Amino acid sequence: MAQRNRERRATAAALRRARRRAHGGSAHGGSGTAGTTTPSAGTARARPSAETISTVLLSAAREHWAGDPEAGARIGAMVADRCGEAPSLVAAAVRCALPPLITAAWERGWSPEDLHQMARRRLDAAGVDYLVDAIADESQRYAKAAVPQRWREDLRQIGAVLWWEPAQIGGHLLQWATRHGRSLADTLTTVIEVLAMLLALPVLPRIVPPPGSAATVTPRRGVDQKMLVRVRALLAKAESTTFSEEAEALSAKAQELMSRYSLERIVLDSAGSAGSAPHPATARRMWLDNPYVAAKALLVGAVAEANRCRTVLSEKLGFTTVLGDEVDLEIVELLSTSLLVQATRAMVLAGSQTTRTGRSRTRSYRQSFLLAYATRIGERLSTARNVGAAAVADPARLLPVLAARERVVDELFESMFPQSVSRSYSVGNAAGWHAGRAAADLAVLDTRRAVAAGDT
């Protein structure tokens, strides 16, 4: 409480100082001095500078971050009341405060997709929308050649584009308010909440250099588009079918196809670069929705292990980091996303669970369900991986290349997460465990007959 009171007093003092400077330094409006104008009765209140308003907005954001949920609305209304007749001034103040914090987020290891995902978890829809626009605005600072491909893909994925006319009075701020049917006070409340989220961001291991950095960016080596079309068709069928056996068979077939494709790529790469070092490993973050983040991360980990990748969970933030070869990472992301959809659907179909006395056991049931599902899926994907490996020619050349790839991934893991610790999971609901394992175990091992139509 004392901290919030100090923040409020500092905010009010900043506005008072700005008014005194505008009146020539007099706190009470006495006689004028050289180079100043003494306001007469009825003269409009002097407006603070954009820098002062920016300081006030950041102060309100710190209050919000410190635990005062009303700080944004209170300070937003105050600034709108005192400066509403100068929208360009307020817009300039917002641009003083917001873009530097976004740039600072890049330096802290965040990417556009990371910020978007964090905003989805911390802000309302309006806040998410405003942040995306702010990211689009900040991205205009960089030459196109200075923006890595992955960064451009992130911007495209979150829809960060300039839709407003920067030259108009009030710039983005007022055009955004008009577009969303909001008052200036409400819009400033949203801005303050966005600022508060940005101020609270922790430092993350950097997975892609930010725009304009001097770091070398490795060109992406994605999965062949024809293969992606085939795999996505299988996974789309797996997600749409109401038959668990068919869904599992389709997913297993997708893993088999992708594993064989990845291994064949490895053999071709090694043939074309005999004696050279393997391609560098890289990393991606997969954001997971609540609840059961840890159990969902275990499913991602099972997919990653079947595709020669490693994972690290950041449960409080809500994502797991996957490390591996670029091609393998794309496979892990594609298959994990589909399996999470399938697992969640199977879990929800089981319905709510209660004890004989009527006490809810739904949470423990679903947690155990997902843990069992992930464990069994890992076993099945490993089998599918081995089937794919058996179909690859020249295994004698493959094994040493795989060993070199594993070393590269391990080295990246140690450099990014030197203090990581292993974690074990306990199962608190036997019924959920058996149901989850059964849901993942219904598929026949020979997937060819079940997916003949999807493999054409």
Q: What is the pLDDT of residue 327?
A: 82
Q: What is the pLDDT of residue 268?
A: 65
Q: What is the pLDDT of residue 200?
A: 96
pTM of this structure: 0.77
Average pLDDT, integer, range 143-166: 93
Give every CB contact of residue 202 below 8 A, 6+ residues apart in sequence.
108, 317
- Which one-letter amino acid corresponds to residue 281? A
Residues 11/75, Cβ–Cβ less than 8 Å: yes
Residues 169/88, Cβ–Cβ less than 8 Å: yes
The band of 307, judged by pLDDT with boundaries at 50, 70 and 90, is confident
For 258, 305, 322, the CA distances from 421, given in Å and listed in that order, are 30, 17, 15
Give every CB contact of residue 210 below 8 A, 6+ residues apart in sequence.
106, 107, 151
Average pLDDT, integer, range 384-393: 68
Average pLDDT, integer, range 380-392: 72
Helix (H) or strand (E) holding 367: helix 362-390
pLDDT tens-digit readout, 71-81? 999 999 999 99
Lowest mean pLDDT among 50-54, 122-126, 143-147, 400-404: 400-404
Radius of gyration of the CA atoms of the chain, in A:
28
Report which of 283, 149, 50, 170 is spatially closest to residue 58, judged by C-alpha positions. 50
How far apart are the C-alpha atoms of 370 and 343, rounded to whole Å?
7
Average pLDDT, integer, range 308-327: 94
Average pLDDT, integer, range 441-454: 36
Average pLDDT, integer, range 349-371: 75
Average pLDDT, integer, range 159-182: 95
Most confident listed range (48-57, 229-238, 442-451): 48-57
How far apart are the C-alpha atoms of 263 and 270, rounded to whole Å?
11
Lowest mean pLDDT among 139-148, 198-207, 247-256, 284-293: 247-256
In the chain, DSSP finds a helix count (H) and a strand count (E) of 16, 3
Better pLDDT: 387 or 173 = 173
* SS3 assignment, position 319: strand
Q: What is the pLDDT of residue 335?
A: 85
Average pLDDT, integer, range 164-185: 95
Tokens in use for 50?
A: 């954009």
Better pLDDT: 28 or 141 = 141
The beta strand positions in 275-428, using DSSP E, are 282-287, 310-314, 319-324
Average pLDDT, integer, range 68-90: 94
How far apart are the C-alpha atoms of 260 and 266, rounded to whole Å?
10
Report which of 27, 18, 84, 99 is spatially closest to residue 56, judged by C-alpha positions. 18
Better pLDDT: 244 or 170 = 170
Report which of 410, 389, 400 is spatially closest to residue 276, judged by C-alpha positions. 400
How far apart are the C-alpha atoms of 15 and 34, rounded to whole Å?
23
How far apart are the C-alpha atoms of 280 and 269, rounded to whole Å?
13
How far apart are the C-alpha atoms of 298 and 252, rounded to whole Å?
18
**What value does the mean pLDDT of the chain take?**
80
How far apart are the C-alpha atoms of 135 and 193, rounded to whole Å?
15
For 182, 195, 423, 428, the CA distances from 123, given in Å and listed in that order, are 17, 11, 30, 33
- Which one-letter amino acid corresponds to residue 208? V
pLDDT tens-digit readout, 96-135? 999 999 999 999 999 999 999 999 999 999 999 999 999 9
Better pLDDT: 372 or 130 = 130
Residues 264/395, Cβ–Cβ less than 8 Å: no
Residues 108/191, Cβ–Cβ less than 8 Å: no
Give every CB contact of residue 347 below 8 A, 6+ residues apart in sequence.
366, 369, 370, 373, 436, 439
Is the pLDDT at 443 greater than 80? The verdict is no
